[in-house]
Structure 1
């Protein structure tokens, strides 16, 4: 007989805290080499994979699941691929609208090596943050609160942590909570796969800072490391200001549409969990 998982109220803080520590350590390590050509890319890819192994180990220890279905290897490439297309497509659509209203300007070319190193960094960031906020916080909360409350709570916490960034703002944090928290939570509810949300997160951030040279979540990263050197001008409501396009009303609207579609898909597939409904194993 299979062992029962540890209580959700114990698993939640333990997994959240340990994965958060792993994420912080991973990002600290990659930050030491993210400006070294190619090394940043290689180290970032390796560190991200190690954080995935930490998640698998925690799931085996606390939930007695040898292979997490949400990280099924068979879904890795297709899930990441779909997520990358979604993330890149939504960011390009967001930036296109901002540019249409005169808010985005290309100043010149940056660095191909900078873009490649940004890929390593963004892979590490996407893996770490999605495992913390969707793999642990959202997934375990959903067992007790249901899908909708899990999306709301995990989204607000996810947005809230971005306030501490150098150019973090409450408006930017709320925007991320709505656009990214809602979208990734809804996407996970519909697919029950972490690969898609990791791919989305990585591609959005890579396009934002590594390709188009805009600030990423108020971190200040962007023009110095991207493939393009660029600037945004105009109302913060349009451009997101120093926080970056994520704080733009355009991003909220652009990401809000697929979030609603993912929720409808989750409902059609019978994957919305009510508060009293047990989560299928």
Structure 2
């Protein structure tokens, strides 16, 4: 990549700041009011349900893609050129990321069981209720994956990297991702924040190695689906409604994450290293051409 002139770098930073201000402080709060009214009109309540997750993440997706389209228009670029190319949507990179996410979350659960931090007692759902809940939670988590990646690491990562470099942009956006959860989610602690920051950096790394967000979207979808539907781990001190397994978490919080669930377990940390290693091995960095 050719060096970007100083004025181009400054413009990229200011564009990223403007995008963030509009999404986070101007448009977002106004749309929040409408979404809250919809939730009340539809009697969705305040529980950790697939419907509530889907509604909130659909809002994030619409705002992120809408702003990306507007900024892309003024920059002379397609809205899908900022990490989420339509041609690759839900293609092989997505499904590979999905598979890695399932294995990752499954290994965390198995380790929690082995160390006494999680106890399995059969299924909590059966019959039509199981099928409906499985589909509803999958749809909700697809919106989580696409919505959050478009919001945190779509336009902003592709633009900010032009201004301050890829890894500096990745650190800034991962800190923002962590702060969003820390300040707006019940009971967050330092262990969960470490996981959130590492997760943000991991997704950025997948963008660097694969060229798009679709592997990361699949990873995000699968990990959250495994947590919220399959395992039914707590999240923000709430238990997901309509989860698959009948589980309890009797062990210490450092093993099972306490009220924050899997994300805050120290068992996440060695598995982060393994997933980073897998991505580095599976998608080698392009070789530098000799001068």
Which runs of 5 or more residues in structure 1 are unaligned?
272-281
Q: Distance in 1 between matches of 2:39 and 2:226?
A: 19
Q: Distance in 1 between matches of 2:276 and 2:50?
A: 35
Question: What's the CA shift for 1:47?
Answer: 6.1
Q: Does 1:91 align with 2:95?
A: no
Which runs of 5 or more residues in structure 2 are unaligned?
1-7
Q: Answer whether contact 1:141 1:150 (CA < 8 A) is retained.
A: yes
Q: Does 1:205 align with 2:224?
A: yes
Structure 1 vs Structure 2 CA RMSD:
3.4
Q: Answer whether contact 2:108 2:268 (CA < 8 A) is retained.
A: yes
With over 3 angstroms needed to count, the CA separation of the structure-2 counterparts of 1:38 and 1:230, relative to structure 1, is closer
Which shifted more, 235-244 or 105-114? Answer: 105-114
Q: Distance in 1 between matches of 2:269 and 2:195?
A: 6
Q: Answer whether contact 1:155 1:181 (CA < 8 A) is retained.
A: yes
Alignment of 1:44-55 (within 5 A): 50=62, 53-55=65-67
Question: What's the CA shift for 1:129?
Answer: 1.6
- Residue 87 of structure 2 corresponds to 74
- Residue 20 of structure 2 corresponds to 16
Q: Distance in 2 between matches of 1:156 and 1:42?
A: 24
Question: What's the CA shift for 1:256?
Answer: 2.3
Q: Answer whether contact 1:167 1:220 (CA < 8 A) is retained.
A: no
- Residue 247 of structure 1 corresponds to 264
Question: What's the CA shift for 1:264?
Answer: 6.6
Q: Does 1:102 align with 2:116?
A: yes
Q: Answer whether contact 2:228 2:243 (CA < 8 A) is retained.
A: yes
With over 3 angstroms needed to count, the CA separation of the structure-2 counterparts of 1:221 and 1:30, relative to structure 1, is farther
- Residue 175 of structure 1 corresponds to 195
Q: Distance in 2 between matches of 1:38 and 1:205?
A: 12
With over 3 angstroms needed to count, the CA separation of the structure-2 counterparts of 1:83 and 1:130, relative to structure 1, is same
With over 3 angstroms needed to count, the CA separation of the structure-2 counterparts of 1:89 and 1:30, relative to structure 1, is farther
Q: Distance in 2 between matches of 1:146 and 1:172?
A: 27
Question: What's the CA shift for 1:261?
Answer: 4.5
Q: Distance in 1 between matches of 2:50 and 2:172?
A: 38
SS class of match (2:87): helix
TM-score (norm 2): 0.76
Q: Which runs of 4+ in 1 moved over 3 A?
A: 17-35, 37-53, 260-267
Q: Answer whether contact 2:61 2:148 (CA < 8 A) is retained.
A: no
1:45-85 CA-partner distances (Å, limit 9, x unpaired): 97676456425413423432025332222211223212211
With over 3 angstroms needed to count, the CA separation of the structure-2 counterparts of 1:136 and 1:42, relative to structure 1, is closer
Q: Distance in 2 between matches of 1:47 and 1:262?
A: 30
With over 3 angstroms needed to count, the CA separation of the structure-2 counterparts of 1:257 and 1:62, relative to structure 1, is farther
Q: Distance in 1 between matches of 2:178 and 2:53?
A: 26
SS class of match (2:234): coil
